[in-house]
Amino acid sequence: MVEVSFGEGEGELLTLTYPKPLPMRLDRWLVAQRPEQSRARIQKFIDAGYVRVNGVLGRAKTPLRPGDEVQLWMPPPEPLPYLLAEDIPLDVLFEDGHLIVLNKPAGLTVHPAPGNKDGTLVNALLHHCPDLPGIGGEMRPGIVHRLDKDTTGCIVVAKSQEALVKLQVQIQKRIASRQYLAVVHGQPAGDNGTIVGAIGRHPVDRKKYAVVHDDSGRHACTHWRVVERLGDYALLRFKLDTGRTHQIRVHCAHMGHPIVGDVTYSRCRKLPLDLPGQALHAVHLGLNHPISGERLVFEAPLPETFERLLAVLRRRLQTGAVISPGPLAMAEQNLHAFIAAVRKDPALQEQLSTTAAADADEVAAIARASGFALGPKDLVSHADGALVEYQDEDYFMKPRWWELAG
């Protein structure tokens, strides 16, 4: 935080009186009095010397007593010189003085990261909304939630600190509603369902996430329903109870139906047409206006490539044309289906846990006996998400190896 003398220059000076009969810590009371400010930001104000109690410099643990006068000096948001404003076109669905809702395109990273300090949505927002710097933190000014680089659709950005805090609370408490559309490989067994699986770093590939079965993961819940069945593909609609990194992508791969075009969680390369990334679109966003309280609902139109993908699949379905996947795609589809079956069948799990199923040949034999066309060389290593030579047999000796899916 830039050094500014107490009460000098541009900013806002608030004078408050502590009314409670019992003592309370200064930092906790200020957080309650200024809900538009995050706890971390209040702490920064205190640490910078911008809070006085009865004219004396306050500390976080300073006990407040009835009648104490508290002065809080809030300087304007500091500029972020390392973030450059860039004239990148934005598809604006809604905007007022407090928030902006965008239809994000594929290929646009939301916020800067090491080695990627420009060409992001934040850079575009700084050009569109010059007052954003300083809101919400250093590298993500105004960002309420995020979308993956190649995920398209609705994203809301706050234009003030008060709006940011209130919108983030709506996301955390599920007051805001988010729904997505995706085209997945294969046909789900039912018409709807719920995936509950903690998500954490992949046990081997730390750049990926996976459903994990230990304390390293965070609870994640995804509701899905089939919108349209398209031969060897399906259009699904998702509603999130949580917002973990890559949540829908990981959960789809976990249930054996990875998203079309997702090169991280699906090895299928034979696609109906070239895609810029995964066919995942944030189609719906509902929220309460952070200031007026009015309920706002936004729908983002599908991107052109998503529409073309659906058109191709519908046309092939109508004409009876078969989309012929290559050997690698077939192997992965069969494996995903086998893994999904194993996760639901305790008898199969017990069979695969015996020493008789400690190598790829035995696992493949069990798969074929269960109706899945898999050979030893078709097995996919969940350790790196790629085909492995079947002599890499130690992998199948790992306890419950089928739970290491990416």
237 sits in which H/E element: strand 233-240
Asked if 99 and 159 count as a contact pair (C-beta separation under 8 A), the reply is yes
Distance (Å, rounded) from C-alpha 237 to C-alpha 401? 30
- Residue linked to tokens 């798969």: 367
Q: Is residue 226 exposed (0-12), middle (13-18) or buried (19+ Cβ within 10 Å)? A: middle
Which SS3 state, helix, strand or coil, does residue 296 take?
A: strand
**3-state DSSP assignment of residue 217:** coil
For the annotated catalytic residues, the residue numbers are: 148
Neighbours of 296 (CB within 10 A): 17
Structure-derived torsion over alpha carbons of residues 348, 354, 355, 357, reported in degrees to the nearest 10? 0
| Long-range Cβ contacts of 220-224 (<8 Å, 24+ apart) | 220/195, 220/196, 220/244, 220/247, 220/250, 220/251, 221/194, 221/195, 221/196, 222/194, 222/195, 222/247, 222/248, 222/251, 223/192, 223/193, 223/194, 223/195, 224/188, 224/192, 224/193, 224/194, 224/195
